Structures are given as structure tokens and as C-alpha cells.
Amino acid sequence: MKIGVLALQGAVAEHIRMLNQAGAEAVAVKKAEELRDLDGLVIPGGESTAIGKMMRKYGFMEALQPFAAEKKPIFGTCAGAILLAKEIVGQEEAYLRFMDTTVERNAYGRQKDSFEVSLPIAGVAPDFPAVFIRAPYIVEVRGAGQVLAKYDNKIVAAREGQFLAAAFHPELTEDSRFHKYFLDMVKEYREDKAPV
């Protein structure tokens, strides 16, 4: 399995390390044409507005439409979860609009308000060490979406088909279970696509 990590900003090396640890071949993706060879993509944290601008500038907004249409899984963490959402509170335009979710940016305060908490995540782990850094949260999950985890009664992880979103940073831990869950999604997609 070849998984790309969008390398415009954020914890790219950490995601690559985790994906390799979970059993994938992980590569940094800097150009839209590099999406062609991938089985899945991780959109890491960072600053959603800055990443959104760079995605537009380098043609990722257009290139990710056929990628998603091929049912290739995409995992957005922190800012990545914002980029996947259909609606962003207080912002007129969303970015990729792949997940039928509404997100609230910087919902957990500033950098100094960062924290870690042990979180039960459906299908992933009963005790995942979730690291929150200027994290968003998911206000609402609609349609076919599933809530995977809540913290303080707020949704912090969700899945909709081939799309996965986490408000926290699973790559900043030593725990690869969330990345393994994503790789299982990629395997599902590949098996569905394989000729019978």
C-alpha cells in the first residue's frame, strides 16, 4: 500500500513514520500529479487557511476530486478535518467539501491550551492517547457519517465512507492504532476495486 502525506505544511514526517510503522509505504506529496500512484492520502494538521491557499495554488483542489471519485480513502487530522468538511463555522466557503460535516476552527483555544487525553475511539481503541493542539471540533455529522469519538461531549473523530477525520494529532504519539484503522479502510477500498 502506498499512502501519501500532503506535504504543504504540518507534521508530515510524523505521519510518514506512523504509516510506515503501521505497515504502509508512505511518501510526502508536494505535487498534484503525485496523487496518481497512491492508494490513500493523509492531510495533516497545520493552519487550514494556509493549507487551503496552497492546495488551490498547486492544483490539489481539482486533482483531489477524481482521487475521491475513485473511492480512495483520505484521512484528515486537525486542519485536515477542517479541509474535508462541507461547512466551517464563521467561514463562507469550505474547501474540499468531501464530508457532510460542520466544523468549528480553534475550538479548544490557543497553542498554550494544548492537552492530551485518553479517548475511546470506535473501531480503533478503548484508550487512544489523543493530542489536541489548537484543535477544531466537529459540530455536526450528517447523512452517512458516523461519530467515532467524543471528548467533553463534542465530536472529535468521524468517518463517512472512505473519509476519516480527527480533530487531534494521532501522529504525535507512539500509538499507531489510528493509522492502522486508516490502512484497513484502504485495504477495503482496494478489495472492492479488485477485479473478480
Domain ranges, ordered by start, for the chain? 2-193
Position of cell 492508494? 39
Beta carbons within 8 Å of 134's beta carbon, 6+ residues apart:
78, 106, 108, 109, 110, 111, 113, 114
The answer to whether residue 110 scores a pLDDT higher than 90 is no
* Phi and psi, residue 93, nearest 5°: -105, 140
> CA 44: distance to chain centroid?
6
Indicate if 179 belongs to the active site. no
The answer to whether residue 29 scores a pLDDT higher than 70 is yes
**CATH superfamily assigned to domain 2-193:** Class I glutamine amidotransferase (GATase) domain (3.40.50.880)
**% of the chain with per-residue pLDDT over 70:** 95
Tell me: the pLDDT tens digits for 114-161?
899 999 999 999 999 999 998 899 999 999 999 999 999 999 999 999
Prediction pTM value:
0.95
Measured distance CA(186)–CA(159) in Å, rounded: 13
CA dihedral 46, 52, 56, 58 (to 10 degrees): 0
Q: How confident is the model at residue 191 (pLDDT cuts 50, 70, 90)?
A: confident
Q: How confident is the model at residue 111 (pLDDT cuts 50, 70, 90)?
A: low
Q: Which of 78, 87, 104, 179 is catalytic?
A: 78
Count Cα atoms within 13 angstroms, Cβ side, for 139.
13
Q: Which of 15, 104, 171, 179 is catalytic?
A: 171
What are the distances in angstroms from CA 117 to CA 35, 42, 110, 181?
34, 22, 17, 19
Q: Which of 14, 15, 169, 179 is catalytic?
A: 169
The answer to whether residue 64 scores a pLDDT higher than 70 is yes
Q: Which of these, 185, 176, 178, lies nearest to 156 by C-alpha position?
A: 178
